[in-house]
Amino acid sequence: MIDRSETIDDLEKLPKAGGPGAALWRASNRWQRLQRDLLEPFRLTPVQYLLLSGLDGMPDRKQLTQADLAVHCGVDGMTTSQQIREMEQKKLVRRDPHAHDRRAVAIAPTRQGRQLLNRATPVIAEAEKAFFGALGPDAGAFAVALGLLAGEKPRRRVPAAHAN
């Protein structure tokens, strides 16, 4: 009879199956699992945390529409709508009539939403630092590469002009 634990140990010593896509999938699953575990005590999902942070981080938060928030956070419209509804029930966000578009509503974080975000953010920031810390000084380049893979255009940095 084959000892299954020995077989699993042997397999874990081998390189993982698949190419870069499989490695990205495994890393993404690991990061999402970590986020879910860390956000669970706050009763937030990773998508709710992303939307709430995106909402709180916008310069003109008072008139941000749901569609604007979806684009800003890179989340599809249906998911954004569902998550906003859930966060509204939890009293983390509110919907107000939009000042310039009668068809739209403005989404804004509530005081309770901001307070929760302020408690959750240091936990996620520390986890992000630890998780991506394995990349060392390449973490910034990795983030740019992920953005490219996500279809984002790289932002070009223009060197500052020097006075002569």
pLDDT at 15: 64
CATH 1.10.150.120 fits 25-149, yes or no: no
106 and 99 in contact (C-beta within 8 Å)?
yes
To which residue do tokens 């709710």 refer?
A: 48
Which SS3 state, helix, strand or coil, does residue 139 take? Answer: helix
Domain segments of the chain as ranges: 25-149
66 and 77 in contact (C-beta within 8 Å)?
yes
Q: Which of 14-28, 117-131, 146-160 has the highest mean pLDDT?
A: 117-131
- Whole-number average pLDDT of the chain: 87
Output the six-digit token pair for 59.
Answer: 């310069």
pLDDT at 100: 85
